[in-house]
Amino acid sequence: MSTLKFLAPILFLCSVFCSFTLASPGKSYAYRPPSCSELHDMDGNILDYLCPKTGTIRLWVPLSKIDSGLQSLVVLLEDAKFYHHDGIDAEGIMDAIETDIKLGRFAKGGSTITQQLVKNLFLTQ
């Protein structure tokens, strides 16, 4: 398992690099000025906006242009049980609490992708 924890970030970075370097040369996606990112539902309706710090420049790429392997890797790294819970992973939370108590510090997160989204949309930083 420790090998996976070591290799996963490296594979993720390699995938991101390949996604940008292997993009078809005829296609270009314009940089958007520093502004908010739109968060859409499955039907394309805007749910909310995510606003980065001033000066951040993002490259907009449609989801259909992001390799499915990279999408799966991000889900695996962020929330391995994403498809097996309803937004809250109680076992993951308990495991994180146990690890944090044993180490005496906040060392492990237990939130799911869904919980992170809710936090970013509805709570202040």
Distance, in Å, from the CA atom of 28 to the CA atom of 49, rounded to the nearest integer, reads: 24
Instruction: Output the pTM of the full model.
Output: 0.48
Structure confidence by residue, pLDDT tens digits, 63-97? 888 899 999 998 988 888 988 988 889 888 899 89
Residue 33 has pLDDT above 60, yes or no: no
Pure H helices in the chain: 2-21, 68-78, 90-103, 113-122
Distance, in Å, from the CA atom of 83 to the CA atom of 81, rounded to the nearest integer, reads: 6
Q: What is the mean pLDDT of the chain?
A: 74
Residue 14 has pLDDT above 60, yes or no: no
| The predicted structure's pLDDT at residue 53 | 67
| The predicted structure's pLDDT at residue 98 | 92
**Neighbouring-strand partners of residue 73:** none
